[in-house]
Amino acid sequence: MHRPYSIGVISTGSYLPSTVVHNDEIGQRAGVTAEWIERKTGIRQRRRAAPHEATSDLAAAAAERALEQAGLTADRISYIVLATSTPDHPQPATASIVQSLIGATNAAAFDVNAVCSGFVYALTAAERILRGEPEDSYALVIGADVYSRILDYTDRKTAILFGDGAGAVVLGRVPNGQGTLATSLITRGDQHRLISVPAGGSRHPASAGTLEDGGHFFRMDGRGVRDFVQENLPAAVHSLLRKAGLLRHQVDHFVPHQANGVMLGEVWPELGLGSADCHLALELYGNTGSASIPITLDLSHRQGAFTEDDVVLMSGFGGGMSVGSALLRWAPTRHARPARLRALERELAVAG
């Protein structure tokens, strides 16, 4: 008898560069103190890519860790969908470089740019594609960004927030009723000017003038972004729950985009998810753009936070302006240490 299947996360992986940048180093150039940065953002440090590392290198490292956890070789992957707003080059797609780096010779590869919502957009695209594929098909969904290359370190609104990193998941077939329950993608193009890198594209091609004007740096209207999140994120989350037929108290875990800890604290009461565990990694890693959700998901997963049938909500928001949310019912993932085993290990350590 044919067994019905859904599409879900079967493994996770992440990569954080080894160089740690503390608030005092960032603050000195931005004209603020380390204490001011932590008070305004909840961030104490972040990681910075080495000079030889590009977005594809970080993405490939995260992908290989997800593949290792899944027990799969790269040639088993059918699709690679990479979310990034800091590609290696304007073209080709950075995903094609990742395909070459990891040896995923059978995978079609493409990029998605929805800025910090990108991972959920990429996850949604890959999930939709796999629905029509054979049961033994897999997709790698990666979020990776190297924002350290596009920051104006004298701009305290942006320089203090961002770090570099990559996170990945392998999507595949899971038992029916588990995996992806619903997703929601929203774009408010009328507010696209709130977040931008003005130069370097067809509107303002690179020139001596754009370099002199700082047009290649990341720019953000911080107050406008905060207002956008407060206005749009709760509505998007509540709409997605209705779409999935779930109540707020049925959400076990919330994994948000790690934009700013203070801003997340302000919007948290409006979400009405008080019974859920909110997973944060920004204190140590900052805002890693499209990588922030999969990095946080991987760190939490490897710490044994998720158990089978837990409901996990992921929500990203960012340039465009965009909001992307996904609801998962957690499926048994491969080679992860169960929470019960970790609890037993802690008990034995205390007894010892």
Give the contacts of 118 (CB within 8 A, at least 6 positions apart): 83, 84, 85, 112, 143, 289, 290, 316, 318, 324
DSSP codes of every residue in 291-331? GHHHHHHHHHHHTT---TT-EEEEEEEETTTEEEEEEEEPP
Compute the distance between CA of residue 248 and CA of residue 270 in angstroms, rounded to an integer.
Answer: 11
Question: Which one of the listed residues 257, 260, 279, 301 is annotated catalytic?
Answer: 257
Alpha helices in the chain (DSSP H): 23-30, 34-41, 55-70, 94-102, 118-131, 208-212, 222-244, 261-271, 282-285, 292-302, 339-351
Compute the distance between CA of residue 244 and CA of residue 183 in angstroms, rounded to an integer.
Answer: 9
Question: Which one of the listed residues 116, 253, 279, 301 is annotated catalytic?
Answer: 116
Ramachandran quadrant class, 288 (left: phi over 0; alpha: psi -120 to 50; beta: rest): alpha
278 in catalytic set:
no
Q: Which residues pair with 256 in a beta bridge?
A: 315
Tokens representing 67 are 């593949």
116 in catalytic set:
yes
78 within 8 A of 116, measured Cβ to Cβ: no
CA torsion sign, 239 to 243 to 244 to 246? positive
Catalytic positions are: 116, 257, 287
